[in-house]
Amino acid sequence: MNAAALPDAQYHGPGIFLMLGSALSLAVMNALVKWLTLESYSTFQIVFMNAVCGFTAVLSWLLMSGRMVFVKRVRPLLLVYVMAALTACLSLFYAFGHGQLAQISTVVAAAPLLVAVLSFVFLAERLSRWQTGLIVAGFVGILLVLRPGVDMQASLPLLAALGGTFALAVSQVLVRKMSRSIHTAAFILYFYTGALVISGVLVFGGDLWQPAAAGDLPLFLGCAAADVLALFLMYSAFRCAPASMVMPFQYSNIVWSALMGYVIWQEQPDNWTLTGAFVIIGTGILFTRTALRRKPVLVPQT
């Protein structure tokens, strides 16, 4: 990402720094999910513990700041959002736990392109020929990473990541549709509430609970803290700089994830993954810049 691609970057340093921090926090959370999975904890238990911590943190903040009024407005579509976001969470936690961090992060990076397609279909948002071409190129990048039919057993985490990314895109489209009538705090709190209830039923109903070792408790807490911190830093970045400036730096998550995967587990992305990452990141940045120049961006409410 050079100066020509991101003009005026020097004037928005705080926002860029915050978005880089958000991407790093998200990568840390994904690495901790993998670590806990390798310690034989089920995906459902990891999601449950994450939801307990996240729900407690967000609810405490709302109560202490006197902002509970923001979560009283409920819409029927909010339930659909919670289910889509929870599906994304479960699928992506499984994918990061069982796959290579760099590969899974690359697939997830295609979410903005899926959001554009879904917004075109369901929200009647227009796409130029240039944007349509970028979306097609981005899907080619996904295929380069997935390489359908090569090894279905090894591809299972990647397929879970693809399904989770689609569910994530659905949840983001629903947020866009409801953002004028529902506060950001409501989206976060109700997601954690749904995750807490559903994952709790699956964990305890399916007898999947494993007592956490004392040494693993900091990992669970760190995972939840990284999740909440990533959200906080992302929303702060949008307040400090234009979305068109900071959003491309979300893709640094792939770099952080690749570094952590290599240092901790000696994961080495193959040439197909690297090529797919290059295509997805390139098309994603170009698409984001084009889309945000054509219309105003709704900054998340705080």
User: What backbone torsions phi and psi does residue 188 show, to the nearest 5 degrees?
Assistant: -70, -50
Digit-coded pLDDT (tens) for 25-70: 999 999 999 999 999 999 999 999 999 999 999 899 889 988 888 7
Residues, the chain? 302
**The predicted structure's pLDDT at residue 84:** 95
Digit-coded pLDDT (tens) for 83-102: 999 999 999 999 999 999 99
Q: Mean pLDDT for the chain?
A: 85
Q: Which phi-psi region, left, alpha or beta, contains residue 66 (left: φ > 0; alpha: ψ -120 to 50)? A: left
CA 84/CA 89 separation, integer angstroms: 9
CA 231/CA 188 separation, integer angstroms: 9
CA 288/CA 284 separation, integer angstroms: 6
CA 60/CA 247 separation, integer angstroms: 29
pLDDT of 177 over the 90 cut: no
> What Rg value do the Cα atoms of the chain yield, rounded?
19
109: nearest Cα among 247, 268, 291? 247
CA 224/CA 209 separation, integer angstroms: 18
Digit-coded pLDDT (tens) for 191-217: 999 999 999 999 999 889 999 999 999
CA 194/CA 4 separation, integer angstroms: 43
